[in-house]
Amino acid sequence: MEEKQFVKEIADIEENFAQWYTDVVLKTGLVDYGPVKGTMVIRPYGYAIWENIQKDLDRRFKATGVQNAYFPMFIPESFLKKEAEHVEGFAPEVAVVTYAGGEKLAEPLIVRPTSETIIGYMYSKWLSSYRELPILINQWANVVRWEKTTRPFLRTSEFLWQEGHTVHATAEEAMEETLLMLKVYKDFAEETLAIPVITGRKTEKEKFAGGLATYGMEAMMLDGKSLQAGTSHYFGQNFTKAFDIKFLDKDGALKYGYSTSWGVSTRLIGAIIMAHGDNRGLVLPPEVAPVQAIIIPIAAHKGGVTEKAKEIESALCAAGLRAETDVRDMSPGRKFNEWELKGVPVRIEVGPRDIEAGQVTVMRRDTLEKFTVPFTELTARICALLKEIQKEMLALSRARRDKKIVHADTLEGILGGVEGKNFVKAGWCGDRACEDRVKEYAAATARVMCDEEGIPERCAVCGKPAKHNVIFARAY
Amino acid sequence: MEEKQFVKEIADIEENFAQWYTDVVLKTGLVDYGPVKGTMVIRPYGYAIWENIQKDLDRRFKATGVQNAYFPMFIPESFLKKEAEHVEGFAPEVAVVTYAGGEKLAEPLIVRPTSETIIGYMYSKWLSSYRELPILINQWANVVRWEKTTRPFLRTSEFLWQEGHTVHATAEEAMEETLLMLKVYKDFAEETLAIPVITGRKTEKEKFAGGLATYGMEAMMLDGKSLQAGTSHYFGQNFTKAFDIKFLDKDGALKYGYSTSWGVSTRLIGAIIMAHGDNRGLVLPPEVAPVQAIIIPIAAHKGGVTEKAKEIESALCAAGLRAETDVRDMSPGRKFNEWELKGVPVRIEVGPRDIEAGQVTVMRRDTLEKFTVPFTELTARICALLKEIQKEMLALSRARRDKKIVHADTLEGILGGVEGKNFVKAGWCGDRACEDRVKEYAAATARVMCDEEGIPERCAVCGKPAKHNVIFARAY
């Protein structure tokens, strides 16, 4: 009965996915709305997920030789204008500081929407010789993009992200870095978030303002829409020329470097929610779950129950797991609901009868399966179970997604596909007009190109010979 | 000879401490000036120190039950005005966003100088029952205070910090938290940064704008000046009343909570530099050193040398140390200078003769002692050595500081004391006028009160009976 009451608290995931999302993010205490329109507060439960994301990604970046640094948030307005496409892309979204220290500023300052310009300025100061290349620097920071329509995690005026900025001696090395970081992101999304992603190059329309090529990774949400979960940009010499980033090469010639940038943001938390949730709420992959195992004492007032629960908690924590005991004075049923809503991967119930039988009852959040485990095997079994859940969540997501990738060779086919909540693969002639037509007719955008899978004969829009194999989808 | 050339690169620490500081922070690649006046770029070597600080402090905070979260950086201007002293203290220093998304904002937004107001607003939304108390939240963030005179790490327009914000049911619990966090900071400063600190309450003049009591920790720099290295504030109900932070207590009554806040910043990096450096540059405590042991191959072209160096590096890294081998194509002498400048605690030299003798040459950066260690004992000895250096750096700093704490019972005595680069303990009647007089006459400020050590009979300024035992010093 309690479960039923509980289910009413969040909208039905099939009936109203958008409301389900809003209910889940607010009621689990992941996030709240800030006082300024379009801003969010990342509450402790949400921030703990971000900390796990940061820790894992940071390790992956550093393994490729990247170091962290921190650049100022305020960018002189003139910097933004040095790269023509860049200013066009970002100027409409920026927040501008015009007063500081009680005085009007001589030059307004832009709050960084991204840091290519200010980092480019510093690289130009620092770089002199080929010996200092490559420059491989990342920063974890807040950025601001003033958006009209916002949703927690998915699109907010201020968000947290990381932005890597690298400079290389040759175009080849810069392109290698671009693709290496795309691979790092893909491995991270799949191994750590249990979200299968499709990576590929973006069309000219969808690429980063000021770049030569953008590569993105796209994840399918439970409603069939795509979420751009990360991007890696190849800039060629666009920014190195705009910011005069030069080096003396081995051959004695002064040359411009080639640069890249790549980033993921707190948007990933939105992706986790919408890739794995269900009608009971969140389902968190063990790798990023703030609590991996919640221990719930049953009839906690009976002698030895809470002690046993705490003993299990200690054993699990000692094995490196994030385990907690819920000792609050409320019914186990309410606790079950709350921790299911919060998506904790494993629940461990321990009561007087369990203690007598030398076992506990375990529930997996992803499959809702329940089974008993003897005390003597508990720690080893929970460790193994978390690994298994992590693997199976990815496999399930992948199977679910793969069934929803369809092919189309007409505009109607694309519309039908996306209305059926699919990703639609279709041939494209490469003309912007045909890409715009898909947007207009099917409210879908070109997510990435996957030409390496083979190119269809004709453009699904105009019928001319196709140059690319594009995934079209509706997107967040 | 090379060492002499090298020493010229940075100003003499005795002759010109300020220039020595600037030379060291710039030439070690800790920091650079940003394009906007008063801003700094924290370069990878500096940021790695900050990462080590964060990791250690974050662990200490969490051990007391604190969780991290993230609040928006933009604060509606009206929020600042809700606490009268608070707006007076911070309004002159704020940066203001007046345009965003291409439009003039109806209400200007303040870029946070500190987050009591916006966090207070959220806590008011969240808090309803005594069951939810205490609220123990910390955030790692950037803040902006527009200062006229700036120096890298010590005072910059934008800096990185952590700010903890807690709410409690009673005044006693809030005061306990204030003092607990002060203790956490003191332990951290001494154990991790090897900097002895004096903690105590600040005078009314020096306290946080809007608080009831501020406790600070003060560290003596090598020039005898004091650096405020962290503060912990007790607010009573000032902010909970201004922001309507109420809860239903056990007794059924609706009550205002009691709040605290506490913070340390990237200023701590400045403290490390100025507490431990010498004429060769930085001397980093092992706990926060980005590289704890640098391995330098001698005659690296000879067979087996680089291999042996790499083997040592692997063994040290496997033991959990941060070790690196410098394989660059330059003379060992230049490498010695560079790593001494960078303050790496231990240098390990390995050359053909060492290999033959089955040993390496080790140098301690703090004492400059050199000795040989057999290969077979190396890892264990380096681990032990780093612990020893950490401990001895604190002991040395403490002994040096303790010799420079003097007593004075006249205004002239205070002047003489601070001109002799000391901390001066003196009686104070508690009147602002006397405190101002010390500032005017001796260019020194009241750092903290240490009344628990006993209160002198008379105020050193006016001769009336003293109420406090104050440490006066010149300060950063």
Tens of pLDDT, residues A162-186: 999 999 999 999 999 999 999 999 9
Mean pLDDT of chain B: 96
Instruction: Establish if A71 touches chain B: CB-CB under 8 angstroms.
Output: yes
Q: Are B344 and B294 in contact (CB under 8 A)?
A: yes
Point out the residue among A36, A43, A157 whose CB comes nearest to the CB of B76.
Answer: A36
- Helices B411-419/B432-442 angle, 10° precision: 40
CA atoms within 13 A on the CB side of A176: 10
CB contact under 8 A, A142 and B73: yes
Sheet of B158-168, strand order: B67-68, B135-144, B158-168, B258-265, B226-236, B213-220, B197-201, B445-449, B468-473, B423-428, B405-407
How far away is chain A from the Cα of B1, in angstroms, using its nearest Cα? 26
- Could you read off the pLDDT of A261-319 as tens digits, one per residue? 999 999 999 999 999 999 999 999 999 999 999 999 998 888 899 999 999 999 999 99
Smallest CA-to-CA distance from B26 within B46, B5, B8 is with B46
H or E, element range at A343: none
How far away is chain A from the Cα of B42, in angstroms, using its nearest Cα? 5
Smallest CA-to-CA distance from B338 within B383, B280, B270, B390 is with B280
Q: For residue A8, what pLDDT is reported? A: 56
How far away is chain A from the Cα of B248, in angstroms, using its nearest Cα? 17
Percent of chain B residues past pLDDT 90, beyond the cut: 93
Point out the residue among A70, A121, A122 whose CB comes nearest to the CB of B160.
Answer: A70
Q: Which of B57-61, B91-95, B194-198 has the lowest mean pLDDT?
A: B91-95
Instruction: Establish if A393 touches chain B: CB-CB under 8 angstroms.
Output: no
Percent of chain B residues past pLDDT 70, beyond the cut: 98
Q: For residue A295, what pLDDT is reported? A: 98
Instruction: Establish if B125 touches chain A: CB-CB under 8 angstroms.
Output: yes
Residue A7 has pLDDT above 50, yes or no: no
How far apart are the C-alpha atoms of A23 and B137, rounded to whole Å? 23
Residue B303 has pLDDT above 90, yes or no: no
Q: Are A270 and A281 in contact (CB under 8 A)?
A: no
Residue B9 has pLDDT above 90, yes or no: no
What's the distance, Cα to Cα, between the start and end of chain B in Å? 36
Q: For residue A84, what pLDDT is reported? A: 82
* 140-199 of A, contacting B, C-beta below 8 A: 141-142, 144, 146-148, 157-158, 160
Q: Are B167 and B258 in contact (CB under 8 A)?
A: yes
Quickly state the pLDDT bin for A88 (edges 50, 70, 90): confident
Point out the residue among A41, A91, A108 whose CB comes nearest to the CB of B71.
Answer: A41
DSSP B114-167: S-HHHHHHHHHHH--BGGGPPEEEEEEEEEE---SS-BTTTB-SEEEEEEEEEE
Region A466-470: mean pLDDT is 98
CB contact under 8 A, A51 and B34: no
How far apart are the C-alpha atoms of B231 and B228, rounded to whole Å? 8
Q: Which residue blocks in B218-331 are alpha helix, DSSP H?
A: 238-242, 267-276, 305-318
List Cα–Cα distances, B62 to A59, A319, B56, in angstroms.
21, 19, 10
> Where would I find the beta strands (DSSP E) of A92-225?
95-100, 103-111, 135-144, 158-168, 197-201, 213-220
Say whether pTM exceeds 0.90.
Answer: yes
How far apart are the C-alpha atoms of B84 and A76, rounded to whole Å? 33
Residue A342 has pLDDT above 60, yes or no: yes
How far away is chain B from the Cα of A21, in angstroms, using its nearest Cα? 20
Residue B7 has pLDDT above 50, yes or no: no
User: If you measure CA to CA, which chain A residue comes closest to B93?
Assistant: A101
Percent of chain A residues past pLDDT 90, beyond the cut: 93
Q: For residue B4, what pLDDT is reported? A: 44
User: If you measure CA to CA, which chain B residue comes closest to A51?
Assistant: B68
Point out the residue among A32, A92, A96 whose CB comes nearest to the CB of B98.
Answer: A96
Residue A1 has pLDDT above 60, yes or no: no
Does the CA dihedral A80-A85-A90-A92 come out positive or negative? positive
List chain A residues with CB under 8 Å of B111.
97, 111
Point out the residue among B75, B91, B100 whose CB comes nearest to the CB of A95.
Answer: B100
- If you ran DSSP here, which 8-state letter would residue A444 be given? -
User: If you measure CA to CA, which chain B residue comes closest to A30?
Assistant: B69
How many residues does the structure list for chain A?
Answer: 476
List chain A residues with CB under 8 Å of B157.
72, 74, 100
Point out the residue among B75, B79, B96 whose CB comes nearest to the CB of A97.
Answer: B96
What's the distance, Cα to Cα, between the start and end of chain A in Å? 36
List chain B residues with CB under 8 Å of A109.
36, 95
Percent of chain A residues past pLDDT 70, beyond the cut: 98
CB contact under 8 A, B69 and A43: yes
Q: Are B231 and B215 in contact (CB under 8 A)?
A: yes
Q: What are phi and psi of A232, to 5 degrees?
A: -135, 125
Residue A3 has pLDDT above 70, yes or no: no
Q: Are A146 and A93 in contact (CB under 8 A)?
A: yes
State the greatest distance between any 2 C-alpha atoms of chain A, in Å, as a whole number. Answer: 81
Residue B407 has pLDDT above 90, yes or no: yes
Region A355-377: mean pLDDT is 97
Q: What are phi and psi of A28, to 5 degrees?
A: -85, -5
List Cα–Cα distances, B25 to A118, B19, B28, B271, B290, in angstroms.
20, 10, 6, 12, 15
User: If you measure CA to CA, which chain B residue comes closest to A71?
Assistant: B41
- Could you read off the pLDDT of B220-261 as tens digits, one per residue? 999 999 999 999 999 999 999 999 999 999 999 999 999 999
- Could you read off the pLDDT of B46-90 as tens digits, one per residue? 999 999 999 999 999 999 999 999 999 999 999 988 888 888 888
- Could you read off the pLDDT of B132-151 as tens digits, one per residue? 999 999 999 999 999 989 99
- What type of residue is B331? S
Region A198-205: mean pLDDT is 96
